[in-house]
Amino acid sequence: MKTHITVIGIILFLTTHSVRAQERKIEYEEFNQVLDIAQNRVNSDYFVCVFKVKIKNTALNYDDISIWLTQNGKEIARAKIDDKGNITLPILNPDKAEKTTLHLNQLEQDASISLYTDVAPITTKKVMYRDLFVLLEDMNHFTDVMAGGMSWLIPSLDEIEFRFERSATILFNTENGDKQEFGTDKENKITIPLKKAWMKMNPELEFSDLPTRYEPKL
């Protein structure tokens, strides 16, 4: 069962400038930086970062939304919006992004653009510890970049909580044959911390059942 847990939801309210009544625009530089980090500077296959259209006016649907990029007043790209509202935008080199403007053809009360970081589902019962837990390092780095100078106020994610439909176990299998078993609590949850020693050891995690959901925790 595919599960996506929203970890961060940041509404990016586009500021209206002197443009047509139903068009807003914003500098593309920050969007571009986020896309570059999310797609090119993360190590985890479980880290998912997407821009999504958030429709506020129930009379609208995704076909009514247009998002495009301009440079020097000329359109250079048009975003693709899928049936879930996910937006595909190009990654530009920083110099070009600095001179690029993003346009949205709806008023703020009708539609906006949201940024979500999610976790992709675990689909196999055997996962290497480092492959999964590098997700926390990626999310911590991403949050630090997004927070900028205020990053010191934001605590780091340092464990993952797994939820199951019934009693379950996660077995650590190390290269030298050592085993360590973690069992569910009364709420069918297992919490495993991020540890440098375990990242170095990189044991195999063997799930007795696939978790119905999992979530990075502080």
Read off the pLDDT of residues 82-139 as tens digits, 9 standing for 90 and up: 999 999 999 999 999 999 999 999 998 999 998 888 899 999 999 999 999 999 999 9
- Report the amino acid identity of residue 106: Q
- C-alpha 56: how far from chain center: 22
Cβ neighbours around 192 below 10 Å, total = 18
Q: What does the alpha-carbon distance between residue 189 and residue 166 come to, in Å, rounded to a whole number?
A: 9
| Mean pLDDT, the chain, integer | 87
Name the residue with tokens 């176990």.
169
Q: Provide the percentage of residues in the chain whose pLDDT is more than 70.
A: 88
Phi, psi of 6 (to 5 degrees): -75, 120
Q: Where on the phi/psi map is residue 188: left (φ > 0), alpha (ψ -120 to 50), or beta?
A: left
Decide: 194 and 102 in contact? Cβ < 8 Å: no
> Torsion angle, CA of 161/125/199/48, rounded to 10 degrees?
-60
| pLDDT of res. 16 | 36
| pLDDT of res. 24 | 87
- Residue-wise pLDDT for 4-31, tens only, equals 333 334 434 443 333 344 678 989 998 9
- Residue-wise pLDDT for 91-102, tens only, equals 999 999 999 999
- C-alpha 61: how far from chain center: 24
Q: What share of the chain is helix, strand, coil (3-state, %, to 5)?
A: 25, 40, 40
| pLDDT of res. 153 | 66
| pLDDT of res. 151 | 63
pLDDT category of residue 218 using cuts at 50, 70 and 90: confident
**Three-class SS state of 100:** strand
Q: Provide the percentage of residues in the chain whose pLDDT is more than 90.
A: 70
Q: Could you state, in order of their start, the residue ranges of all structural domains in the chain? A: 5-119, 126-217
Q: What does the alpha-carbon distance between residue 113 and residue 14 come to, in Å, rounded to a whole number?
A: 8
On the question of pLDDT at 53 being above 70, the answer is yes
Name the residue with tokens 């935008």.
89
